[in-house]
A and B are shown apart, each in its own frame.
Chain A
């Protein structure tokens, strides 16, 4: 018990230095946790993707459409359970900074394919009945203070003109990783207007969403669909929803690598700071270690004491950092919800925080403890004289 008390007392012998080091570790843990959460947020779409959903798009590029006539052909492929479709609408609400994802979708099948979008039966029926109806996620509704029944006007970018929708429903996410900031409306409404203003662009969809009967059939169904449209005017590329989401992430992979490197650099910097704190602390107490060795304390005891001190500083910093990460992440999430609709500090991030702080605590103690263990008793007792 005295050993533990001695370790605690020694850890905070220089209160200012140890407190600053703890504060530094706490800040580093917050920064590390934050950056890891940003990476997680980037992958939120991938995490939320279902193994039983496929996405079929034009094999040349996502910006090239596919004919609506493919729907029935795809439905007939063995292993296909449901087929939905949609277009990226890309409308702007009032001004560009109010960005959010908005799609024209076939509503009934879309909602069947996405059971993670929880919509009340009343809202669902109202949405399905109203051709100009739209559904928005809870985050989006809160962000713009919309109410069910409000008319929402989006300015078209891909599809010209001002488009009016009536908010008929608000969905909530079933899981933490479900994006609650999407907006979707009837594809038929878009198609009708397009028939009037640009008929060549009518009856075309940006993507098909396919539900397979069994996730193990995903590969064979994908191959069958793509084979079916081989050598047609619009060849397809079918992949799992996860692969589809990952293809977007790969476009920004360099940013993710930079974020991950920065998060490691943060840990390395605070490791250097903590190691310096421990080195100074041990250097100031070499004569004390000589006394302890004189009394009979061995290298194991002294190593344990120094590792204990280092770990106490690192763990206290880690605990403060983790406790502060959650409110900081909440503030960040509310301020940046248009860029990071899903910003959740995961258990894995907390485990990484703990692992990082233990790493800092252990590594910082290695060289100081070696120095303390190698203290020459006679030489260091003379220092006191």
Chain B
């Protein structure tokens, strides 16, 4: 908490999807808050609504009802364009399948979000170099994603996520496609980003080992937060 207010405040959020005439409820009246600098793991079985909740917090989807206030801004009220700008400034994304642009080198992939900033080319290069050094891939900056291992690709994706210095990092199954050694490396890096750079991290995972790296674990079941399963580590 900062000045007594939560950094991320989720209130009465509901979300459902339509499949033709069928309405499928995914999240039902979810309310909770997250402190600045938190490392939260969202767990739960498939279809419990974890990824949907992550998307709502990250501003890439909108709830049917409820509010999501992040650092004093109710992002549910923002237009698509405003949300795009907000995401560019405040959120870094880490995906399960890395989602790097295959025709760009590691350096260029990390530089991509910086194109939306007002930084000069030299400043961008400095930021990218720092991010790649942080993930220990400064010697692979000219490699294309296809020339990197899965773990290395995910590290590049993490570098891309934090290169703009966003306050929040959201990760959807970041270790889901990695072997154990690479997964440990990725989780260790996320831990450092949280502890050393103070990033607020929200991670969706099935993997209890991955969740153990978080400081707080929340369980979702059938679109509801399971209060009994909240674990403070």
Which residues of chain A have a CB within 8 Å of any CB of chain B? 1-3, 5-6, 9-10, 13, 287-288, 291-299, 377-378, 381-382, 384-385
CB distance from A319 to the nearest CB of B (A): 23
Contact of B88 among A6, A295, A385 (CB under 8 A): A295
Let me know if A298 and B115 touch, CB within 8 A.
no
A286–B76 Cα gap in the complex (Å)? 24
A293–B80 Cα gap in the complex (Å)? 10
Q: Which one of B30-38, B95-103, B219-227 is at the interface? A: B95-103
CB distance from B105 to the nearest CB of A (A): 10
Name 15 A/B residue pairs within 8 A (Cβ), A-sorted.
A5-B104, A6-B103, A287-B99, A291-B95, A292-B112, A294-B58, A294-B87, A294-B93, A295-B93, A296-B87, A377-B55, A377-B60, A381-B172, A382-B51, A384-B95
Let me know if A378 and B60 touch, CB within 8 A.
yes
CB distance from A355 to the nearest CB of B (A): 30
Q: Is B143 in contact with chain A by the CB < 8 A criterion?
A: no
Rank and list the top 3 A-B pairs by shortest CB-CB distance, nearest first: A296-B88, A9-B103, A377-B60
By a CB distance below 8 angstroms, the chain B residues around A297 are: 84, 116
With contact pairs A296-B85, A296-B88 given, residues A288 and B99 touching in the complex (Cβ less than 8 Å): yes
Let me know if B111 and A288 touch, CB within 8 A.
no
A5–B109 Cα gap in the complex (Å)? 12
Contact of A377 among B61, B113, B121 (CB under 8 A): B61
By a CB distance below 8 angstroms, the chain B residues around A5 are: 104, 108
CB distance from B35 to the nearest CB of A (A): 24
Per the CB 8 Å criterion, the residue count for chain B at the interface is: 30
By a CB distance below 8 angstroms, the chain A residues around B101 are: 6, 288, 291
Which residues of chain B have a CB within 8 Å of any CB of chain A? 51-52, 55, 58, 60-61, 81, 84-85, 87-89, 93, 95-97, 99, 101-104, 108, 111-113, 115-116, 121, 160, 172
By a CB distance below 8 angstroms, the chain B residues around A287 are: 99
Let me know if A2 and B112 touch, CB within 8 A.
yes
A294–B60 Cα gap in the complex (Å)? 7
A216–B102 Cα gap in the complex (Å)? 69
Q: A6-B103, A291-B99, A298-B81 are in contact. List 13 more A-B contacts (CB 8 A).
A: A5-B104, A6-B104, A291-B101, A294-B60, A295-B87, A295-B88, A296-B87, A296-B88, A299-B81, A381-B60, A381-B99, A384-B97, A385-B97
CB distance from B42 to the nearest CB of A (A): 15
Query: In chain B, what residue has the closest Cβ to A8?
Result: B103
Contact of A378 among B61, B81, B97 (CB under 8 A): B61
Query: In chain A, what residue has the closest Cβ to B112?
Result: A295
Let me know if B103 and A10 touch, CB within 8 A.
yes
By a CB distance below 8 angstroms, the chain B residues around A291 are: 93, 95, 99, 101
A1–B88 Cα gap in the complex (Å)? 19
By a CB distance below 8 angstroms, the chain B residues around A13 are: 102-103
Let me know if B96 and A2 touch, CB within 8 A.
no
CB distance from A83 to the nearest CB of B (A): 73
Let me know if B111 and A385 touch, CB within 8 A.
no
By a CB distance below 8 angstroms, the chain A residues around B121 are: 1
Query: In chain A, what residue has the closest Cβ to B111?
Result: A2
Let me know if A295 and B116 touch, CB within 8 A.
yes
A240–B61 Cα gap in the complex (Å)? 73
A6–B96 Cα gap in the complex (Å)? 23
A292–B93 Cα gap in the complex (Å)? 11
Query: In chain B, what residue has the closest Cβ to A381?
Result: B95
